[in-house]
Structure 1
Amino acid sequence: MRNTMEIGGYRAIIQFDPDIEMFRGEFVGLNGGADFYARDVAGLKREGAASLKVFLDMCEEDGVEPRRRYSGRFNSRIPSELHANAAAEGKSLNQWVTDTLGDRVAPGMA
């Protein structure tokens, strides 16, 4: 189970903060920080929308792209057996890793 919520086309990670007995949401993939707190799901949606609006308005005022750009590059050393698995499936190592991560992290995106 992923503790995420989508608000206005942006994804937020939701965690419970036992010190204040509230849920905390934090938008990911932004060029800055935007978080919000609430005691329930309805509150998270409401506060998340308000936080996102403030963030997006500030970005527009400053002429900043709200979404962080990712290079898409990933360097890793893997066991030769995994490289061989990719070749056995007739795929490049890059395509095999992309497919495998896509199946695990975000089904349907690879």
Structure 2
Amino acid sequence: MMEYKGYQARVEFDDESGVFHGEVINTRDVITFQGQSVEELRQAFRDSVDDYLAYCAERGEEPEKPFSGRFVLRLTPEQHRLAALAARRSGKSLNAWIAEHIDEDARRELGG
């Protein structure tokens, strides 16, 4: 994982073309970059983030900020009740219980 100015990126290597491709993953805007070496990739990442921030400034727009860690979750009343009971049984707050389960499920989904 790469990080610069709060933006995080995922990188993949294309063996066929011999190029690293990267994408910022903690924002909804699309910010991509590529390089043929690790140092070139790092520089391209920094340049892409800086270019994105400059582009937004030129247009007078606020750049998309990295995810804040807050989101609204809509549940049915029954789902809310079940989650609250499960959290209470485990001795955790509802937020902590949900975050723990998201971590577990996401890691399983992502193979990590």
Tell me if TM exceeds 0.5: yes
Aligned counterparts of 2:27 and 2:71: Cα–Cα separation in 1? 16
In the alignment, structure 1 residue 39 sits paired with structure 2 residue 36: yes
The 3-state SS of whatever aligns with 2:34 is strand
In the alignment, structure 1 residue 88 sits paired with structure 2 residue 89: yes
Contact between 1:31 and 1:66, CA under 8 Å: does it hold in 2? Answer: no
TM-score by length of 1: 0.67
The 3-state SS of whatever aligns with 2:30 is coil
Alignment: residue pair count: 100
The 3-state SS of whatever aligns with 1:30 is coil
Aligned counterparts of 1:38 and 1:65: Cα–Cα separation in 2? 28
Moved more, 9-18 or 51-60: 9-18
The 3-state SS of whatever aligns with 2:40 is helix
State the identity %: 27
Aligned counterparts of 1:29 and 1:91: Cα–Cα separation in 2? 27
Q: Which runs of 5+ in 1 are unaligned?
A: 106-110
TM-score by length of 2: 0.66
What one-letter code is carried by the residue in structure 1 that aligns with 2:20? Answer: F
Q: Which has the higher helix share?
A: 2
Aligned counterparts of 2:101 and 2:73: Cα–Cα separation in 1? 14
Large movers: runs of 4+ above 4 Å: 68-71, 75-78, 102-105
Q: Which runs of 5+ in 2 are unaligned?
A: 107-112
Which of 9, 19, 39 matches 1:12?
A: 9
How big is each residue's C-alpha offset from its partner over 1:23-79, in whole Å with a ceiling of 9 and x where there is no partner? 11111233522111112211111111111111110011112222246661234659x
